Amino acid sequence: MGKILKLDDIRGHVYELDNWKPKQAPQAQKYFTEKYKELEQEYKNLLEDFKWNKIIYESDVMFVPVMGKKYFLYNNSKGKRFLSLIAPEDWKKNDLDFIGAFKQDSRQKWQKVKDKK
């Protein structure tokens, strides 16, 4: 059985799952491997959320956002980012670079709205 995971506890002890008893190890390994993958994905999602929130909070916002309403992030011709109430298809003259659509939740955290394609 190959080593799949090393765990460090608070005291610095290292545990390797392949040292466990053979009857118990496969089930435990599966649990810890799945849990590790879940935490890894959660961490990646957290970094992605942080990135978008940083971008939006550093952008120009000339209005007070309403929780749950969809807003649109653009780059203008000078490379300046701004949040708008106007969807990309509603601009008459569109020399803007559309970045994405976002909604703000009750914690004032921005969430990217997935495209419906």
> Tens of pLDDT along 46-93?
999 999 999 999 999 999 999 999 999 999 999 999 999 999 999 887
Residues 84 and 53 in one domain: no
Q: Which domain, by its residues, includes 101? A: 62-117
The predicted structure's pLDDT at residue 29: 80
Residues 52 and 95 in one domain: no
Residues 49 and 85 in one domain: no
Statement: residue 34 has pLDDT above 80: yes
Prediction pTM value: 0.71
The predicted structure's pLDDT at residue 78: 92
Of 24, 58, 92, which marks where a domain is finished? 58
Identity at 11, one-letter amino acid code: R
pLDDT band at 114 (very low <50, low <70, confident <90, very high): confident
| Alpha carbon separation from 13 to 9, 31, 34, 91, 113 (Å, rounded) | 6, 20, 22, 60, 43
In the chain, how many domains are there? 2
**Mean pLDDT (the chain, rounded):** 86
Of 41, 58, 75, which marks where a domain is finished? 58
